[in-house]
Every structure is written in C-alpha cells, then in structure tokens.
C-alpha cells in the first residue's frame, strides 16, 4: 500500500481486502492505545478539507484515508496512475470489517446517529453477522460535547473492551472526532458516515449503475433536495474546478 495526495489530502492507494486486513490487524494489535484511524473520504470531505486548513490537518492525521467515491478514484488514477479498479466505499467497507470480525474475535462499538438508528443498526448486524460481537453503542448528542462528556465517552468505549469503533456522525464532524480521539482509545476508529442510515434501513442506497458512474450524489439529491442542493452545488463545482486546474498544470508541465 502506498499513498498519494489529491488536492492536499493524503489518500491510501488500496482496495477493500487490503484495507480490511489492515484494520483487523491493527484492531488485534497489543499496542495501547492503538492510535489508528480510518476514513473513507468522498468528494464532500475532500472539498471541506481543502477549504479549511485545520480540518485538512485533522484529516491528514488520520492514518488510512481511503478513496470513497468514483470521482476520487478517477482523479487518483489520472494524476497518479494509481490503477485503482474500484473505490473503497464506506458502507461496503463496514460490511467487510463486520464479516471479518466474526472469525477474529474483534469487538465492535457503534458511535453516532440517533438512538433509534443505532438500535436498528445493531439489530441489522445481529441478523446479518450473528457472530459479530457488538459490545456497546452511544448515540450522537448532535452538539459539541463538554469536556466531561468527552471523558465519559472515552471511558465508556474503553470499558466496553471494543477493538473497533464505527463512527457515524456525518462529514466532517466524524473526521474531527476520529482525529481528536484516536490517541486516547485502545481501538481502531473508523468514520463511516451514512453507513449507519443505510444499514439501519433509514435510507436506500443508489442503484449500482449510478454508483459505478459517479452519480450517487444525484440519487441522494433527489431524495433530500432541500438539504443537499447547496452541498452538491458547491462541492461538486469546486471539485470539478480543481480537477481542471490541476489537469491543466499537468499538461502544461509536459
């Protein structure tokens, strides 16, 4: 596995199997705290990091940033000849890790989203992966936590004995949380965003043909136009603009 920067963000050139194997390896290591964090980062997260220097630093402090999103895959292939065959999509990576956890004894903690969603997610895991060991859950407060609450959450996760914490707080709140907590917890922290809602059955994922062609954003926009129109207008336009600027520089440099 090697790493390449895209618009200032350090991505791992990897695939599902390789990323999952590394996550399980780190989760089972005896290093304490493990100080290992993962985020599948799509266009939205990339552009948020590009616009905000502090967030960019936090994202680049995450050990394994994987290319979630076809446009990210295409850009890495174009600028760095990464030869990526597929993206590493957060919801799918979560399923790979849950499946692997059944035979490795890894303990799982779920952090984020609403109480209802996280309970439905735990039920989904119990049905689909009966040998997966979910040792704790904590719903999001949907606000900034106090120092006392931060310490309480860390103690709760530590006392659960979890080796992996899936974090579903939405981008970029989850990346900030992962970066700020990875040095304090004896677990691998994985930011998976909308995976909680998808696997809990709250939202439908885009058809596979739309996912393959980088049109998942369009599908989600049709489901929540009032909430998502501004995000996609700004982030998609900025990504396209950056791609064209960097592509021009690449051609001009030749």
CB 237 within 8 A of CB 44: no
Residue 148 is predicted with a pLDDT of: 96
Q: Which residues contact 86 (CB under 8 A, 6 or more apart)?
A: 15, 16, 73
- The domains of the chain, with CATH numbers, are 9-203 (3.40.50), 207-236 (no CATH)
Residue 126, CA atoms < 13 Å, CB-side half-sphere:
10
Cα(168)–Cα(212) distance, rounded to whole angstroms? Answer: 23
Residue 216 is predicted with a pLDDT of: 86
Residue 79 is predicted with a pLDDT of: 96
What are the 10-residue block averages of pLDDT along the chain, 254 residues in total?
96 98 94 86 96 97 96 96 96 97 96 96 97 97 93 97 96 96 96 94 88 84 81 88 91 76
The structure tokens listed for 193 are 């965003």
The structure tokens listed for 207 are 């058809």
pTM above 0.85, yes or no: yes
Cα(76)–Cα(128) distance, rounded to whole angstroms? Answer: 33
């Amino acid at each position: 596995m090697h790493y390449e920067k895209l618009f200032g963000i350090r991505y791992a050139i990897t695939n599902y199997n390789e990323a999952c194997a590394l996550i399980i390896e780190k989760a089972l290591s005896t290093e304490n705290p493990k100080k290992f964090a993962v985020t599948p980062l799509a266009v939205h997260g990339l552009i948020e990091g590009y616009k905000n220097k502090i967030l960019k630093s936090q994202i680049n402090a995450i050990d394994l940033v994987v290319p979630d999103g076809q446009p990210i895959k295409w850009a890495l292939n174009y600028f760095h000849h990464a030869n990526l065959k597929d993206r590493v999509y957060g919801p799918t990576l979560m399923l790979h890790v849950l499946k692997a956890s059944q035979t490795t004894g890894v303990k799982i903690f779920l952090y984020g989203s609403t109480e209802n969603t996280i309970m439905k997610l735990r039920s989904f895991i119990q049905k689909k992966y009966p040998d997966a060991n979910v040792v704790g859950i904590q719903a999001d407060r949907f606000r900034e936590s106090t120092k006392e609450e931060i310490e309480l959450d860390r103690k709760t996760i530590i006392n659960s004995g979890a080796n992996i914490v899936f974090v579903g707080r939405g981008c970029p709140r989850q990346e900030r949380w992962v970066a700020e907590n990875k040095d304090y917890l004896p677990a691998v922290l994985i930011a998976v965003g909308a995976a909680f809602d998808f696997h809990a059955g709250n939202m439908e994922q885009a058809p596979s043909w739309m996912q393959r062609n980088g049109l998942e954003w369009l599908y989600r926009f049709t489901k929540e136009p009032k909430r998502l129109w501004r995000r996609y207008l700004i982030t998609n336009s900025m990504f396209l603009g950056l791609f064209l600027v960097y592509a021009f520089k690449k051609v001009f440099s030749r």
